[in-house]
Structure 1
Amino acid sequence: MTKRFHLYFDDSGSRRPDHKPNPARTDGMDYFALGGIILAEDDIDALIAMYKAFMERWELNYPLHSTKIRGARGPFGWLRSHPEKAERFLADLENYLLSLPVIGMACVIDRPGYVARYAEKYGGQPWLMCKTAYAILVERSAKYAQRHGGQLEVFFEQAGKAEDTDIKNYTRLMKRDGMPFDKGTSANYGGLTAEDLRGIILGEPRERTKKTPMMQVADLYLYPMVKGGYDPSYGPYRALMNARRIIDAQLTAEELGSLGVKYSCFDGKR
């Protein structure tokens, strides 16, 4: 039987090319990203068991949420008021994430670089940023499944009726027409054909909520991959790379351009 892989992905940052951070970030990050984790279907039960053990260990009954954990906000406000406990929690969370049988994959678009390169050509249509990120993320995840003798199922976190419909439409177009990029300028990336994508991607993407353990892990993996594009010394990014939990750590230098995490429009920033 053909092995099956699952892609679980979340989004981060505004989808609008004309979005301006308010207030402006001191770290220079201004981006839109789609990304998360790939795991073999056979490893899902193990991941769920590890998730339940972690949640029980810390007596948590609410989802792990990257933004709230990093900012010690909402249900994670106790991280601010109990620093010693927070230190133990964050160390255990890192160990938990590094131990999971998953691979991080993402497409991160630098917004100013995107606007400078494409705004005039495409009129700055907001949907193009999401469509670009989605096509690259799914195609590279499909390549991963193909390289490991398998097929791919895609799962995404619900964002809204229009956004969810867009994701499904993007997939239909990819299966019908192939990658939505100029074939002359994208030839070096070794893009999969429409026939390839139809053979690798099973069915249509399916919605999941933040209650799904795999979606929470996808959320926790995405931010370090984003931050690593701007600051490769970022601790959580380095930890994932050193543990070979991000796809880039498993590729040769020659393979990164067509198979690794895509940092798009980062001209001069990396």
Structure 2
Amino acid sequence: MTTEPTAADAVGPEQEAVETALVETVVASFDHCPDPRLKEIMVSLTRHLHAFIRNVRLTEQEWAAGIDFLTEAGHITDDVRQEFILLSDTLGASMQTVNVNNVAYADATEATVFGPFFVEDSPRVELGGDVSFGAPGEPCWVEGQVTDTAGKPLAGARIEVWEADEDGLYDVQRDAGRRAARGHLFSDENGEYRFWGLTPTPYPIPDDGPVGKMLAAVGRSPLRTSHLHFMVSHPGARTLVTHIFPEGDPIMWKDSVFGVKESLIKRFEHQPAGTPTPDGRQLKTAWRRVRFDIVLAPAGA
């Protein structure tokens, strides 16, 4: 098997020595770092960064363009918009960090990306309540059970849910102070939970900033596969951050942040208008229902 030559292959021995010496000088500058983990990170970052610069023979103009890109990302970031999370997501760095920190354990539910639109102060809803709070979209009944990997029901598990509305917008994108299509609830004594939400729909990540320009430049779509966010926690369990994705979504594996996993694809069953609902709610429109059973790994696993 042969590999294509790179620009780095044309570097002569004298130039190679100059560049290698700089790498080692920078690495040695961390010798007296009092924090071993910080030293490990900085040394590895330095070696990988220099290897990238040398491998592609980065020009000064390209390096300046990269700095401009990061500067623009900083300028557009605010309390609602986090461009650096979007950058991390679209490069797969967020998903890879999730993989590294959520090692597969028995049949525990798989984790996926956190995303930039979680907020701490979501309203509490009772079991069977409606987290849409008037956000536009098709009603969807969501139910399931939270257990540990031994199958024991976990009562009192905190379940945070949030999603975009049918227009592809989160509440904070419409009004920073508004809370809709998000909430939290707690599983009952049998570990079961249930609530009304919205049927997820595809939407683009915010693409009017530098990350959007990057995606356009490389020919990638900003669209996210339809999804419903979950964050589930319970004492003694590893906190789970995940989504579920509707079966048959046309975007699916082209998700702009690489968050889709096969085990998280669920059937959102269509219910015609007039179909009796699980809680007796009267609906004159079509709706959907989905079951998502959640298995939490033990803390530290």
- State the TM-score, normalizing by the size of structure 1: 0.26
With a CA cutoff of 8 Å and minimum separation of 6, indicate the structure with the bigger relative contact order.
1
Over alpha carbons, which structure has the higher Rg? Answer: 2
- State the TM-score, normalizing by the size of structure 2: 0.24
